[in-house]
A and B are shown apart, each in its own frame.
Chain A
Amino acid sequence: MPHDDPDHPHALLPPEPALRVKALETILVEKGLIDPAALEEIIETYQNRIGPQNGARVVARAWSDPEFKAALLADADPVLADLGYYGRQGEHMVVVENTPAQHNMVVCTLCSCYPWPLLGIPPGWYKSDAYRARAVREPRKVLADFGVTLPEGTAVRVWDSTAEVRYLVLPVRPEGSAGLSEDDLAALVTRDSMIGTGLAKVPEGAPS
Chain B
Amino acid sequence: MTRVHDMGGRFGDGPVVPEAADAPVFAEDWHARALAVTLACGALGQWNIDTSRHARERLSPQDYSRFSYYEKWIAALADLLVEKDVLTREDLQGKGAAGLHALAERALTAKNAAAALAKGGPADRQGGPKPRFNPGQAVRARLPADNALVDGGHTRLPQYAAGARGYILRMHGTHVFPDSSAHGLGEAPEPLYAVRFPARVLWAHAEHPGDEVVLDLWQSYLEPL
Contact = CB atoms under 8 A, between A and B. Distances in A.
Contact of A38 (B49, B74, B75, B108): B108
Contact of A137 (B9, B14, B29, B196): B9
A28 B39 CA distance: 13
Interface string A13-37: 1000110111111011011111101
Interface stretch (A57-65, A158-166, A169-177): A158-166
A184 to B, nearest CB: 17
B110 A35 contact: yes
A159 B10 CA distance: 17
Contacts, number: 311
Nearest to B68: A17
A39 B6 contact: no
Interface string B104-126: 10011110011001111111100
A136 B119 contact: no
A45 B89 CA distance: 32
Interface in B182-215: 192, 194, 196, 199, 202-203, 207-208, 210-215
Interface in A140-173: 140-142, 145-146, 155-165
Interface string B24-63: 0111111011111101110010000100010010011011
A17 B30 contact: yes
A111 B13 contact: no
Given A24-B37, A90-B120, A136-B213, A197 B18 contact: yes
Contacts of B5: 110-111
A202 interface: no
B93 to A, nearest CB: 5
Interface string B74-106: 111111011100110101111010111101100
Contacts of B75: 4, 8, 10, 20
A42 B117 contact: yes
A132 interface: yes
A183 interface: no
B21 interface: yes
B157 interface: yes
Contacts of A43: 26, 32-33, 35-36
B218 interface: yes
B151 interface: no
Contacts of B192: 163, 165
A157 B211 contact: yes
A2 to B, nearest CB: 8
A100 to B, nearest CB: 13
Contacts of B28: 18
B79 A33 contact: no
Given A38-B109, A111-B53, A25 B208 contact: no
B7 interface: yes
Contacts of B196: 157
A5 B59 contact: yes
B74 A145 contact: no
Contact of B40 (A35, A124, A165): A35
Interface string A88-129: 111110100000000000010111100001001101110111
Contact of B207 (A7, A45, A138): A138
Contacts of B122: 91-92, 164
Nearest to B83: A9
Contact of A33 (B41, B123, B217): B41
A145 B74 CA distance: 30
